[in-house]
Structure 1
Amino acid sequence: MDRTITVVGHAAIDLLFDVENIAVHNESHPIIDYNQYYGGGAANIAIAIAILGGKARLISAVGGDFASSGYEAELERHGVDLSLLYRFPDQKSTRAFVFTDREHHQSTYFHWGASAKLRELDPPEVDFVHLATSDSTYNARIAKKAGFVSFDPGQDLVTYSRKNLESILENTNILFTNRHEIQRVCNMTGRSFEDILNMIETVVVTYDSSGSRVYNSGSEFTIPVVPVKALDPTGAGDAYRAGFLLACTRGYPLETCGLIGSVVASFAVQNIGCQTDLPTWDTMKERYEENFGKLPEID
């Protein structure tokens, strides 16, 4: 039976803009097109796990417009457990405004809305938790209570105090970062990359189109990207984490977990929107075997 993966962080409504160039100070550039989608790192991961056939539970703070937006019904339709949602009827739900240029560079503006309330709350005890972008104080509290901790500070890393970051890292079993974030983690804690590897059992670092690397107890696995026609990079990292974590809870070797994550990410980039084209386990398995050979059998 699958282990429930509790995912902490944002359930956001994403407004995605295609622009010719990302504006800097005192500049204006045309918007080519824009669309609205369901997103937020935690919700993206939870719904991807559920579509893959895993058991996902979401901890997030949502506003009074969450149900009327259709987002609540969408998560329930895919089987995401919403029993631990915090509801604030007088608040707006979280929204992200993401601008992507023709070279796939991005600039993001984020309205926390109800998510800002997390810092005031006492989290529940959970078995297996993934900490996505969220309030750093809440993440530090729940990391101390959880049996197994996966941590992805993401773009919210700039909001972490050194104390909260170190507190979470001390309780982390799997750390996910990109190549920029891992350097910032090192700078903020005063530790070298080798120190981080000695401190945390498994570290995963993504390198955009160059794939990712999985580090564990002195071993290093290089994980390639799955070649597809990429339309939108938004949500690829969340899809990777969903695939990796579900595979991990099912007992697959870490290298296979990385390859499964890469396959799931390849579906996310094929269409605009973080949750638009997420695969089932069987669909993932088919693409996995087309690219990496037979998926190992797990008892």
Structure 2
Amino acid sequence: MAEIISFGEITLDVIAVTPNLMPSESVSLLDRVHYSFGGRGANVALFASNQGIESLLLSSAGKDFVSSGYHQQLKDRGVCCDYVFIDHEGETTPKAFVFRDKSKTYTFFYPGVTELMKTEVEEHIKRNAEGLKAEVLYCTSGLQELNLFLLENMNARLKAYSPGPEITHYSKEELIQLLAVADCLFLNKFESDELRIKLGKSSADLNKDYNLKFHVVTLESNGSLIFEGVKEYFVRRCKPRIVVDGTGAGDSYAGSFLAEYLRSGSLKKAGEVASVVSSFVVEELGCQGNIPTKDQINERLKTY
């Protein structure tokens, strides 16, 4: 049994940096183009594994997942990929194209074989519902119906849901369905604001009204907030050496948070470790460009 099962996309990311993103029908000259491995599901599984937690990735990918070396990297990092359904014939692994300047970020997503998850994952869970168990299930796929299916049917002591930027596409009714079967939430500030507006509830009311054990709101350079019952904890930001790129920092936070929470049972300590880990991630382009070692994490924790 895995300690954490992460369900969500695997992506091959293209991150482009420019001094200024020009208006439509103009040309923006790029300072740098960076190719990296990413995807919310894969990132969370990797950073949980990096903390010494047995993690399993539940996802789909194309043949370039293997040929790019991404498959091998995840396995080398300790992530179980036995439940990554790979289309070896045609379709490609999903791709994220991120264009940013000093003030704006535009992200475009090509779904590739994401649709494969709708059939393969659901059928597998139906056949093996008793065999696939975990301490924590983390659902962050853009496939809302499948998030709901897994949260309702998989066997896990703690069921975490992270809607991601797709939250703007979900109705109030869809979100209520998911909150009813989740134990905790991971949100950034934009997602938290969107959720509160759609539901008409304060952050403090979310836990009480939907019986959540806790929910976490990351605030980029302003730290993070953890809501447990009626309690609220502020976790200050861990200052990075330099800020280069925030892509995937929230994923690294979530994976590291859940790993430490499983280990210590302390939400505050989990937030502190997650803050330290994400401070390394933002120092390079791409979520997986600067994965810290345990020694690096412990050293930075001393001065945090």
Shared fold (TM-score greater than 0.5)?
yes
180-189 or 209-218, which moves further after superposition? 180-189
Query: Does 2:162 correspond to 1:149?
Result: no
Secondary structure of the residue aligned to 1:31 is coil
Query: Does 2:41 correspond to 1:42?
Result: yes
Query: Does 2:268 correspond to 1:260?
Result: no
Q: Which residues of structure 1 form unaligned runs of 5+?
A: 292-299
Secondary structure of the residue aligned to 2:79 is coil
The one-letter code sitting in structure 2 at the alignment partner of 1:135 is L
The one-letter code sitting in structure 1 at the alignment partner of 2:12 is I
**Residue 178 (structure 2) aligns with:** 168
The one-letter code sitting in structure 2 at the alignment partner of 1:21 is N
Query: Does 2:215 correspond to 1:195?
Result: no
Contact 1:133 1:156 in 2 (8 A): no
Question: 1:3 Cα shift?
Answer: 5.9
**Residue 67 (structure 2) aligns with:** 68
Question: 1:75 Cα shift?
Answer: 0.8
Question: 1:190 Cα shift?
Answer: 4.3
**Residue 252 (structure 2) aligns with:** 239
Contact 1:8 1:134 in 2 (8 A): no
The one-letter code sitting in structure 2 at the alignment partner of 1:183 is D
132-141 or 114-123, which moves further after superposition? 114-123
Question: 1:167 Cα shift?
Answer: 1.9
Q: CA RMSD in A?
A: 1.8
Matches of 2:281 and 2:58, distance apart in 1: 22
> How many residues of Structure 1 are paired with residues of Structure 2 in the alignment?
289
Secondary structure of the residue aligned to 2:261 is helix
For residues 133 and 224 of structure 1, do their structure 2 counterparts lie closer, same or farther at Cα, with a shift above 3 Å needed? farther
Question: 1:60 Cα shift?
Answer: 0.8
For residues 191 and 219 of structure 1, do their structure 2 counterparts lie closer, same or farther at Cα, with a shift above 3 Å needed? closer
For residues 225 and 133 of structure 1, do their structure 2 counterparts lie closer, same or farther at Cα, with a shift above 3 Å needed? farther
Matches of 1:38 and 1:232, distance apart in 2: 14
What's the TM-score, normalizing by structure 2? 0.89
Matches of 1:163 and 1:23, distance apart in 2: 38
**Residue 92 (structure 2) aligns with:** 92
Query: Does 2:210 correspond to 1:211?
Result: no
What's the TM-score, normalizing by structure 1? 0.90
Matched-pair identity in %: 27
Q: Which residues of structure 2 form unaligned runs of 5+?
A: none
